[in-house]
Amino acid sequence: MTQHYFITGTSSGLGRGLTERLLARGDRVAATVRQADALHELQQRYGDRLLVLQCDLTEARAVQTSVARAFEAFGHLDVIVNNAGYGLFGAAEALSDAQIRRQIDTNLLGSIAVIRAALPGLRAQRKGLIVQVSSEGGQIAYPGFSLYHATKWGIEGFVEAVAKEVAPFGIRCLIVEPGPTSTQFGAGLDHGEWSDAYDGTPVDEVRRAIEGRSGAVFAFADADKTVDAMLHAIDNEPRPLRLALGRSAYTSIRSALQARLAEVEEQEAVANSVMPESR
């Protein structure tokens, strides 16, 4: 049966791969892009099965208009995929206010706006799936990516809460957490001003790794296989709330969760010590 999708950030990366795969198998896609001609080739090939929507996710009204157009064109939407986003690297104190605002507006507030705009329509039809593309960086943190992590940890908390709110309406949520993947993420990375005060620190180590000057080798997941895994999770039940994709994601997230669990378990006595004495 033909499925109707709304996907953000479709000009490249996982969003582009997902759009191509869905169209090839016969689904319909409402795809947001920032540049109007970014999907010209796909538009020519698939005609009215692809609705291209030029939309800046930092503008709430544009998001609402795009989602409304997709519902109107397709009649209903089965899956909402929040994929648009980018990385910002630099020591927290060295990032400009404009860089911080743009990162939050795009990765966090833009994703929130899409979900809020889609919920009334999904509620009315009593079904739907919200797929939020996050990152292993929504569960772990690297020095130099503080603002990126703030947006990913933030959107994961938002989606987890929303999942509980909308479950009675037949709406489900899936948070996808890829690790390093062979996409254009690195090419699109924004960089803050470098401060010499951070020479030789963990932020500098990460910077050197990004620039290929440290000898560090990243284990990149295959982008096509990542799209395959996303589609399998979308198409099949039971479906987890969170889906880690890539060896790095699985290993890093598992290690971080184990460490956090061990730390909190050591705090049982002090946690209980602040409770009022029972009478």
pLDDT in tens, 171-186: 999 999 999 998 888 7
275 pLDDT more than 90: yes
| Token couple for 59 | 């503008």
Q: Which residue has the higher pLDDT, 57 or 213?
A: 57
Q: If pLDDT is split at 50, 70 and 90, which confidence band does 215 have? A: low
Bond from prior residue into 238 cis (ω within 30 degrees of 0): yes
The pair phi, psi for residue 4, each rounded to 5°, is -110, 125
What is the spatial distance between Cα 113 and Cα 118, in angstroms, rounded to a whole number? 9
87 found inside a domain: yes
Give the burial string for 221-256 (b: 16+ CB within 10 Å, else e): bebeebbebbeebbeeeeeeebbbbbebbeebbeee
Domain count, the chain: 1
pLDDT at 186: 79
278 found inside a domain: no
279 found inside a domain: no
55 found inside a domain: yes
Domain extent, residue 92, equals 4-273
What is the spatial distance between Cα 279 and Cα 277, in angstroms, rounded to a whole number? 6
Q: What is the CATH number of the domain that holds 102?
A: 3.40.50.720
193 found inside a domain: yes
pLDDT digits (tens, 9 = 90+) for 112-151: 999 999 999 999 999 999 999 999 999 999 999 999 999 9
Mean pLDDT over 147-165 rounds to 98
pLDDT at 46: 97
97 found inside a domain: yes
The one-character DSSP state at 104 is: I
Q: Of the ranges 58-62, 173-177, 217-221, 265-269, which one carries the lowest mean pLDDT score?
A: 217-221
pTM of the model: 0.96
Q: State the catalytic residues.
A: 134, 148, 152
pLDDT at 108: 98
241 found inside a domain: yes
Q: Of the ranges 44-48, 159-163, 215-219, which one carries the lowest mean pLDDT score?
A: 215-219
What is the spatial distance between Cα 60 and Cα 117, in angstroms, rounded to a whole number? 9
193 pLDDT more than 80: yes
